[in-house]
Structure 1
């Protein structure tokens, strides 16, 4: 398990993450868990807004809900990959997904809801922390 020191005192300064989720409570919770990390976090409520954001901002990681209005997470991930996005995209949902469904939708990983701090840290550490 990754120690909390990786997510404290600005350790992730310079990294950027996009949260794509239509539920404010989820966004507030994730931001609270990561408040001391130095990670710059943007958030949008649907896939269409996410596709607009990635046109002008390069994120180190995208955390994406599956069930959203306008454009769901699976379709959004597909469109991002079709546009050449190679950064990690993590599916974050209460819907259980099998490893083949995650890979088939071009997600790098799956983070179940409800979101627990240690699970979030473990998932993000795979993509945001460079081990020396």
Structure 2
């Protein structure tokens, strides 16, 4: 019942993989649409308005990374699970950095795919169904509106990827608390990356570039050597 009326866009240039995923998703009561290249993926994402996208990295015409980046630039926040045959850690970091919600390396079992889809959709639904009033988070001249997904610095709206925004909001909800990298991975990415915490460092670096006057002397996000980071309360810049 949980999958009823949920539409999944399957993007892969290999017909056997599309067929396998399509069969297993439909068996689990999902609706499906598919695309075989990057251009078709962008078109289907806009026209079909799926609830989640399974997106292969290696695609003809436009690769999966560019597809993900393009969709996010267009303001399409549909959850994306990246699929790839590569085992390169850099690919995983890059995929998540540009806005993907999860990442799976081929070969994978249909059961694992279904479990990941269920987890990502559950998280997305809980965020969308939240009825709490927008709690404004502020520190110095930095203001964040978690429910509206907007942030301002010195009155000017900032641009973040979804994960950058979620990380910043989590930092500000835990001001002055030391947060380990593993804790941040669990809270923001909701997935166990088996100790690979470089994705946190990448996102923190990007956040600093956007909110700090001097990234080498940050006033907001401080590094706690050997542990992680701490967002310090600031009364002014």
Name the TM-score, length of structure 2 as normaliser: 0.48
Aligned equivalents of 1:40 and 1:33: distance in 2? 11
How well do the aligned residues superpose, as a CA RMSD in angstroms? 1.7
Q: Indicate the residue corresponding to 1:24 in structure 2.
A: 15
Q: Per chain length, whose mean CA-contact separation is higher, i.e. which structure has more relative contact order (CA < 8 Å, sep 6+)?
A: 1
Aligned equivalents of 1:37 and 1:97: distance in 2? 31
Q: Indicate the residue corresponding to 1:6 in structure 2.
A: none
Q: Indicate the residue corresponding to 2:37 in structure 1.
A: 46
Q: Indicate the residue corresponding to 2:71 in structure 1.
A: 80
Checking the alignment, whether the CA contact within 8 Å between 1:12 and 1:128 is kept in structure 2 is no
Name the TM-score, length of structure 1 as normaliser: 0.83
1:128, distance to aligned residue in structure 2 (A) = 2.7
Would you say 1:37 and 2:36 are equivalent positions? Answer: no
1:60, distance to aligned residue in structure 2 (A) = 0.6
Task: State the 4+ residue runs in structure 1 displaced beyond 6 angstroms.
Answer: none
Checking the alignment, whether the CA contact within 8 Å between 1:88 and 1:107 is kept in structure 2 is yes
Aligned equivalents of 1:30 and 1:55: distance in 2? 21
- Where does the alignment leave 5 or more consecutive residues of structure 1 unmatched? 1-9
- Where does the alignment leave 5 or more consecutive residues of structure 2 unmatched? 127-237
Would you say 1:107 and 2:117 are equivalent positions? Answer: no
Aligned equivalents of 1:110 and 1:22: distance in 2? 17
Aligned equivalents of 2:77 and 2:61: distance in 1? 23
Larger Rg: 2
How many pairs were matched up?
122
1:103, distance to aligned residue in structure 2 (A) = 1.9
Q: Indicate the residue corresponding to 1:119 in structure 2.
A: 112
Checking the alignment, whether the CA contact within 8 Å between 2:79 and 2:120 is kept in structure 1 is yes
1:59, distance to aligned residue in structure 2 (A) = 0.9
